[in-house]
Amino acid sequence: MGLRKAPDEIRTMARAGRVVAEMHEECSRAVRPGVTTREIDRVAREVLTRRNAESNFLGYHGFPAVICTSPNSVVVHGIPDDTVLCAGDVISLDCGAIIDGWHADAAITVPVDEIDDESAQLIEVTRASLASAIEALRVGGTLADVGGAAERVAMDAGLAMVREYVGHGIGTAMHEAPEVPNYRTGRGRRHRIRSGLVVAIEPMVTIGSPETAVLDDGWTVVTVDGGRAAHFEHTIAVTDDGPEVLTLPG
């Protein structure tokens, strides 16, 4: 169930994770009314260059940018372009980096200026969903426990969890086994969590229907009903002492 990583490999992934955290910090500061998503991507590129890190998004199956920018009803995989952000929007920023061949991947959702209460709740519930899933990522548990913990938070708040897109193992490739669903599933019970496992957990929560569609660009995933979505993700290593989040600021 996924290749277990050695402590030195996890330390290298944590270095990549700190770059991702810096990308989040810098890109979040750039989010404001009037800015384009392409300009936010440029900020992320500057961080990668400054930290001598590679992008794991750019060129991935042809993806044309170093981050995904997903505003409002875009769930994931939004392509940075000339879209202008407006006050009251929300936007998810999915960032990744490679250091010495080892990957890290994480996402946050941030407000554009002042947002309504419903959108603020969406962001906080999705953040809490990720935190609950991370807490369940412990030696001896299963990935069903992780997915169930994530889904429970969303359901208790009256929100919905997207099921078509899930978390994943990560290491020398951005996407490795195992899949990490954000909901309780029977196949998750077969995946026992062991020390050394490194995964990216990434709940995507919607205000309305969790059904999604892909736009004609082949990348951009949107809610079918136009409802807003939020996305939070961390790269986490399983240790004997509990989960270690690798995509936090240094």
| CATH value at residue 127 | 3.90.230.10
Q: Is the pLDDT of residue 49 over 80?
A: yes
pLDDT band at residue 3 using 50, 70 and 90 as cut-offs = confident
* CA dihedral angle for residue 33, residue 47, residue 57, residue 13, rounded to 10 degrees: -130
**Residue 72: domain span:** 7-245
Q: What is the mean pLDDT of the chain?
A: 96
> Residue 2's pLDDT is what?
57
pLDDT at position 250, please?
82
Q: Encode pLDDT of 127-164 as tens digits.
A: 999 999 999 999 999 999 999 999 999 999 999 999 99
Residue 71 domain flag = yes
Query: What is the pLDDT, as a whole number, of residue 123?
Result: 98
Spatial distance between the Cα atoms of 158 and 156, rounded to a whole number of angstroms: 6
Query: CB burial class (10 A; 0-12, 13-18, 19+) of residue 114?
Result: exposed
How many domains would you assign to the chain?
Answer: 1
Residue located via tokens 């750039």: 30
Question: Does residue 191 belong to any structural domain of this protein?
Answer: yes
The predicted-structure confidence for 54-83, as pLDDT tens digits, reads as follows: 999 999 999 999 999 999 999 999 999 999
2, part of any domain: no
Q: Which residues lie closer than 8 Å to 108 by C-beta, 6 or more apart? A: 24, 28, 92, 93, 231, 232, 233
